[in-house]
Structure 1
């Protein structure tokens, strides 16, 4: 994996353990000796740029959850946690609530249970970023970018309309696209004709022209079917968001992104998702990843402010496409944001080049913590075999020494990775574990002890004064009533849009027919 020495990216060395904030789990055996397992290395505040981003790879039961738990209860600054099942929230929310002298804010974005807080993703990014965000959410139909472009234009028109109406962006757009084509156009013309941005995006949509090959794929194969086919195609891009809980979650905004850095105290955001709805999870996950990441980077660009570091923990986030994460990593690090990604296997990555994750991506992460199965010929085993022979740091914290193992190990070129290890007390100095033991004593004082025997039922749920979480109210469509009649000015504007979209061709005629078929009275 690391074919040559580098000061930018390497496996952790012994000095890293001495200079880092080390936390872990411990259990005293009957013979009085300490059974020890280092499960994470996170740097002290102020040294995040030096230490960089972290990748943790471990199979089921490999200790990923423990790394997340112990570090969250020890981290004294803001954090963002992708929490698939809500288990991390249950175990750590109380500790996160108590940081900053009991003033810590806990935000729960729960797309599964209909409780928690609201998050409007479009409100935390600039309008200049809307185009990229729309493109991220849209899948190209049949490999043809024409349909993706059409959908992009209409998403932008709907978001602009929501901004103009001062309504939540995603629910407004989804509800607009539920309408029939003629009703939607009527709605645009009636409520948003005086908004140049909305009208321009709508004009871009109406003015799109397919080539002959694309036209041949349209049912009926003629221009009169074009608008209807375009509209139906766009509607398919929003079906994954047609989820009442998800729309309700995005119907308002309770997240102070700016305050996470320096204004509003320490905030912990838990993003709870429903694994039984993988497409919803993927779509909402992309929105979270894109908008929160971009917003944090923008806030981090502000000058002459004292920023606090932020920790981002993405548990099993590899199930969502991670192309953008690679582009973010160095940028996040320079803004004092540390990203730690937890995966069961490296194949969960979808690298930006469309290739298998390999050594060309090694600079994306500064620390790798690999909990390898007993399979030297497996994927992780092969990665280990490619490492420098001088690199002898194990995932459990061992540094170039043989110790008594009570778990399976994989050994290759003097590099050992173990699931568990029994370490004699005299090994502390060599391993830098003396500092880790101090950390454990501090945790024990705060009653946050994590033992190897049990990390459940530790009473870390939110205290009574912070419960229950707010329950989202019944979802109500943000659309205004569909007009029963159109005034002369609106009708004239509609005709002008039609003319600009294509003049007198068959598409414009179809557009006129759609408007004329509304059966609405035109008042003068």
Structure 2
């Protein structure tokens, strides 16, 4: 009957065939051994047999001694041998009878199936080691040679308390991406972002609101990680590195039109909602032609093409805009010939009615208004580094993108341009050797994007997560809750693929029930035993008439949404600083969820010493504006 039920379910028994029980055969052997031992000892007691087995064991013999004695003395003492054999048979029969009763009781007893409704459980030490977040134990060869296992490395995704209460950092060093859910002021910066930046030795791109990460981590990354640290703060009057987005356009190649179209789309779509209106679409087509015209004209005249210069072309008070359309239509861009994309854009504007052309022009100029700020214009009018430097420079490069809260909204289009160009330009070539893809780069790149939903919907980021890991780019994405990702207005919608492409997800105690429900589903369903006791009889009687006890398997989430919302958060003092870390949950695809603890860098003396290293006052500079002609790449 047992074979009729398919109980081989759940990952715990995946791929294993049902095994025959070993208890019954073991009990049969024990019964036979007990019968032989009884017969042996009874015969020895009859004859007061003394064997030379030592003082403490002189009256105990091995069970099969009776067989040896029967072979030697059966002819002399047949009655004694038969009496001993009868005793052994009685003992064996009693043992086998008890076994039969036990087997009958077990067959008629109900059994709990721990995997019936779900097999979710919390990860143990072996699970965490198998997932790669903790170093594996030493192998036999390592123990024999005295070698130590590889130390844990990579980004910090949390901490875990073992059975003894000792805390262990959880780190992930694989190429896969990490997604973190953490509400504001929950300690994600001091627990995950800062420890990662104080230990990651290769290149990094960091979105840094208010400049806190620069102040805490740039000093160590420059002095001890040997990184070139770049501070790009477009609205800063001093101390910022300069970067001209138009220098990244691969002018004169087959990629130039595509590069300019991507750039123009980001300019006219500052929130990532797509080109919804007619004016956005027409202004994007206009900017493609104007930017290409500015690039070729600057290359021919030996000047620099910049976004402020593009705005000046469209808003020149000294000449009529019709002259610009005519110049674009007749200028010799390519060997004295007019560029087809530029000429087409000019022809479109010339053919439009005056009112429509004026609306298209005003829409395009409105998206370039941020570059009329002289501080921003100065910081984007030349390039003191290139995107390619992040992974191909002689030293690792750390790029901090700083935007103060009051400048975040107006500088969002520029930050979106930079992040998109990083993905677009660094994940462009892949070679194959011996049947395997090989990406050529000097340094891996960590994209630490804190509050990345505030950049709006970056379609290139969502699409590239599936393949940029093969190019040496690892993304660490931090958001407040799942609603930021799934928002139709400012996020990626309910069909987003960000969560699908992140191998590791970790979460602090959430504030939104939608996030709690998402985390509960990630944790999974488990099976628990439910006991139900039913009584019957009169209330006034001394004894109840009947008591029945029923145990059944029921399903429940391993972590319910309510339990997720009530996870202990960090304990803060009167000034709002964290005194004690709270709990968190870490998910690694293919392994049980980890119930962990939030790490805090200021509780670790090593991190505290690294964070105390002062940050440089000014940004490093890799190249100067005259070192590399506009539009050309850097040869390393």
Matched, 1:207 2:347: yes
From 123, 130, 134, the equivalent of 1:18 is: 134
Match of 1:194 in 2: 332
Match of 1:96 in 2: 221
Match of 2:211 in 1: 86
Rg bigger for which structure?
2
Q: CA deviation at 1:207?
A: 1.9
Matched, 1:448 2:607: yes
Unaligned runs of 5+ in 1: 27-32, 216-222, 393-408, 424-429, 451-456, 472-524
Matched, 1:366 2:516: no
Distance 1:237 1:374, change over 3 A: closer
Matched, 1:459 2:612: yes
Q: CA deviation at 1:121?
A: 1.9
From 107, 110, 118, the equivalent of 2:233 is: 110
CA deviations over 1:48-99 (Å, ceiling 9, x no partner)? 2xxx111111112222212111111100101110111111000001111023
Match of 2:84 in 1: none
The separation in 1 between residues aligned to 2:182 and 2:241, in whole angstroms, is 31
Q: CA deviation at 1:180?
A: 4.3
Q: CA deviation at 1:199?
A: 5.0
Equivalent residue runs for 1:236-247 within 5 Å: 236-247=366-377
SS for the counterpart of 1:18 is: coil
Match of 2:311 in 1: 174
Distance 1:59 1:201, change over 3 A: same
The separation in 1 between residues aligned to 2:248 and 2:431, in whole angstroms, is 15
From 383, 399, 402, the equivalent of 1:253 is: 383
Equivalent residue runs for 1:317-396 within 5 Å: 317-321=452-456, 322-349=458-485, 356-357=493-494, 361-373=498-510, 378-387=513-522, 389=524
Equivalent residue runs for 1:249-328 within 5 Å: 249-298=379-428, 305=440, 307-321=442-456, 322-328=458-464
Structure-1-length-normalised TM-score: 0.64
The separation in 1 between residues aligned to 2:486 and 2:316, in whole angstroms, is 35
Structure-2-length-normalised TM-score: 0.54
Match of 1:161 in 2: 297
Matched, 1:41 2:171: yes
The separation in 2 between residues aligned to 1:391 and 1:53, in whole angstroms, is 27
CA deviations over 1:317-374 (Å, ceiling 9, x no partner)? 2111232211111221111110111112233236799763467653221111111236
The separation in 2 between residues aligned to 1:299 and 1:261, in whole angstroms, is 13
Distance 1:189 1:449, change over 3 A: same
The separation in 1 between residues aligned to 2:284 and 2:393, in whole angstroms, is 39
SS for the counterpart of 1:449 is: helix
Matched, 1:60 2:184: yes
Higher RCO by CA contacts (8 Å cutoff, separation 6 or greater): 1
Note if contact 1:300-1:307 (Cα within 8 Å) is conserved in structure 2.
no
Note if contact 1:315-1:343 (Cα within 8 Å) is conserved in structure 2.
yes
SS for the counterpart of 1:231 is: helix
Note if contact 2:217-2:611 (Cα within 8 Å) is conserved in structure 1.
no
From 120, 123, 130, the equivalent of 2:260 is: 130
Distance 1:350 1:149, change over 3 A: farther
SS for the counterpart of 1:88 is: helix
SS for the counterpart of 1:366 is: strand
Match of 1:231 in 2: 361
Q: CA deviation at 1:106?
A: 0.7
Note if contact 1:162-1:169 (Cα within 8 Å) is conserved in structure 2.
no
Q: CA deviation at 1:459?
A: 2.2
More helix by share: 1
The separation in 1 between residues aligned to 2:240 and 2:521, in whole angstroms, is 46
Q: CA deviation at 1:146?
A: 3.6
Note if contact 2:230-2:619 (Cα within 8 Å) is conserved in structure 1.
no
Q: CA deviation at 1:412?
A: 4.4
The separation in 1 between residues aligned to 2:431 and 2:249, in whole angstroms, is 14
Q: CA deviation at 1:163?
A: 4.3
Distance 1:281 1:42, change over 3 A: farther
Match of 1:419 in 2: 569
Distance 1:237 1:329, change over 3 A: same
SS for the counterpart of 2:613 is: coil
